[in-house]
Structure 1
Amino acid sequence: YVNAFGSDCMAGWSSYNKLDVYALVPAQSIAMASTTFVGQNYGARKLERARQGAKQALIMSISMTIFLCALLLIFRDQLLTLFTNDSLVIQYGSRFIGMIAPFYFCTCFNQTFAGAMRGIGKAKVPMIVMLSSFVVFRQIFLYVGTKLGGGFVLVSLAYPMGWVVCSIAMYVCYKRSALCHPEKAQFAAADTAKDENVEDAIETADEGIE
């Protein structure tokens, strides 16, 4: 879809993407850390601690992303000159940044909630949601939008609209998960059986000592 606007626009998009990779690193890195933290505490039945960990991860992710987004918006023209000196390419790249960067905070929600879901063993949920949002929804959005006469702005907004949809869907999945509804926790029965076996083993050992 970007190709339809010419080689300068394509080059601007390419330059923007090189900066986009770095801007999204905090959200993705913190999400991976939240997977480990939530998984450990979920396995230890510390659901409140797991929820608080996910919450703090989201706060840190948003804070760092907003900071990087602000820098990117302020110094976008200077940063784009690292990849090109063509004024028209820089203009296109700057427009992409201006329309997409303000939505970066949305990635914090979908990445953090996805990380938490993976931590409780529900890896298929974020996979399905992200594929549906980032691939299926975006393609439908772009196809319908271009058929209705949408131009440069609509194509630029396809990425952030996918983030918004994914964030809403991941939030709903998170709120319906075992982290927010302990009665849905699947480890309960297995862990209870293990605890009973351990107690029986201890009692047997004590009897043997006596």
Structure 2
Amino acid sequence: MTNKLQFKVDLIRGPIFQSLLFFAIPLFFSNVFQQLYNTVDTMIVGHVLGDLSLAAIGSCAAIYDLLIGFALGIGNGLAIVTARSYGAQDEELLKKSVAASIVIGLVTSLVLTVGAEIILMPLLKMLDTPPEILAEAFSYISIITRFTLVMFAYNLCAGLLRAIGNSFMPLIFLILSSCLNIGLDIFFIAQLNMGVGGAAIATVIAQGISVALCLIYILKKTPALIPQSRHFKIGREIYAEMVGQGLSMGFMGSIVAAGSVVLQYGINNLGTLIIAGHTAARKLFMFFNMPFSAMAMAISTFVSQNRGADQRGRILKAMRCAVIYDFVMAALVTVILGLFAKDLVQLISGSQEAVVLNNGAMYLQVVGPFYAVLGVLLETRFALQGLGAKMIPLVSSVIELAGKVVFAFLFIPKFAYLAVIFCEPVIWCLMTAQLIYAFVTHPYIHWLAPKLKTS
């Protein structure tokens, strides 16, 4: 290819673990600042507005995750095709994939926005959102959903840059917009008394800045990602591939989030203080999950590019490195949470209530060791997607959804918050077993193929 990329990591020829790590580090910090959008909202709302407003944001967190999961999933799914064409050094196909991504993204965002306007309030009521926080919850999430396009546009732009090996510049743009988000949160909530709606407006504005900065950089520095008018001509083959890959990852993300919506239904029946404690704990859970999700995203691009370059050996070595990384990081996280979980919950929530602090801390301390399982789960699923598998990751998401339905309707009514704590670790173990088997028997990998034939 003729374009000159800056801040690019060579995932096709470079040292495997070093390349993965250098590519994952900006992704990790991108995840950190992405979480700041929500965590700063939570901290300021909890400290300034109190436990009820914190519970209002928490009660609609699963719906927010549903939108994020679908938008992020489609963006990453579309970028996989771009990464594969980049690995194959096919610049024409790369530009066509970018054009198709834009078209698919616009249509998807419009459908999500209209759909959210119709079902949002009925969904909050269906989830048994406590009446005393229903209005606040709706005021927050309705603003977010009306700007789904902004959310999707950033995820797509960042995904396309990562597809060609540049995970650094999306981080820079995200840092700038996250700092803006913090300032706007303080101004809108603490100074203008706009309540939880001010937190949502701050998030949308900050995300919009990220999109603008990404687009400017792409236009000036990455000509390989700028399609011409001929590239927008709809071709059945590439659109079928990209719609299939994008919707597969989008539905995977939304099915996972739908499971969280079901689980939230069970949590909402446990009272506002339990909701507040769980909200703070989940924010911390997402922070400590970032080293694992960053490596999984790096694996996705690594596998996509090396699949395009037909380098199976590099893929297998990368997966081994990633598993070792998972267990080392999980041990570190477990120690930190064992020592400081309650202090961290208090820092995030601003609460002095024992119910909030004790339940939030217990959740984190139980989940800690299972980060190793979650890391393997994420990396295996993303690797399968990088190989072009569409249905297998969806099956794992269905397992997660089914498991959360069982816990929400059978175990939470009987064991209360204890069932919430153990719900995901149990499900992760089942999902990981299914995904590992699918990976090692994949036609391109076929680790077990000789053994299966002779057994």
Amino acid in the other structure paired with 1:56: C
Residue 104 (str. 1) matches residue 371 (str. 2): yes
Percent identity between the aligned chains?
22
Distance in 2 (alpha carbons) for counterparts of 1:7 and 1:146: 16
Residue 38 (str. 1) matches residue 298 (str. 2): no
User: 1:11-38 CA distances to partner (integer Å, 9 max, x unpaired)?
Assistant: 1101101101111111111011111212
The 5-angstrom pairing of residues 176-187 of structure 1 reads 176-181=441-446
2:357 paired residue among 76, 86, 90: 90
How much does 1:178 deviate? Answer: 2.6
**Hey, what does 2:395 align to over in structure 1?**
128
Residue 3 (str. 1) matches residue 234 (str. 2): no
- Aligned-partner SS, 1:5: coil
Distance in 1 (alpha carbons) for counterparts of 2:412 and 2:269: 11
Amino acid in the other structure paired with 1:135: L
**Hey, what does 2:416 align to over in structure 1?**
151
Seen in structure 2, the aligned counterparts of structure 1 residues 61 and 163 have a Cα distance that, compared at 3 Å, is: same
**Hey, what does 1:55 align to over in structure 2?**
320
Q: How many pairs align? A: 182
- Aligned-partner SS, 2:350: coil
How much does 1:146 deviate? Answer: 4.3
Amino acid in the other structure paired with 2:394: M
The unaligned stretches of length 5 or more in structure 2 are 1-265, 450-455
TM-score by length of 2: 0.38
Amino acid in the other structure paired with 2:343: Q
Q: Name the larger-Rg structure.
A: 1
Amino acid in the other structure paired with 1:111: L
The 5-angstrom pairing of residues 185-196 of structure 1 reads none
TM-score by length of 1: 0.77
1:166 paired residue among 431, 451, 454: 431
Moved over 6 A (4+): none
Seen in structure 2, the aligned counterparts of structure 1 residues 104 and 5 have a Cα distance that, compared at 3 Å, is: same
The unaligned stretches of length 5 or more in structure 1 are 185-210
How much does 1:164 deviate? Answer: 1.4
- Confirm or deny: 8 A CA contact 2:299 2:382 kept in the other structure: yes
**Hey, what does 1:142 align to over in structure 2?**
408
How much does 1:58 deviate? Answer: 2.1
**Hey, what does 1:14 align to over in structure 2?**
279
- Aligned-partner SS, 1:45: coil
How much does 1:93 deviate? Answer: 0.9
How much does 1:49 deviate? Answer: 1.7
Task: Tell which deviates more after alignment, 57-66 or 168-177.
Answer: 57-66
Task: Tell which deviates more after alignment, 56-65 or 170-179.
Answer: 56-65
User: 1:132-174 CA distances to partner (integer Å, 9 max, x unpaired)?
Assistant: 1322221123323246x33332222112122112111111111
User: 1:72-116 CA distances to partner (integer Å, 9 max, x unpaired)?
Assistant: 221111111212231311111112112222222111111010121
2:386 paired residue among 110, 115, 119: 119
- Confirm or deny: 8 A CA contact 1:37 1:50 kept in the other structure: yes
Distance in 1 (alpha carbons) for counterparts of 2:362 and 2:325: 28
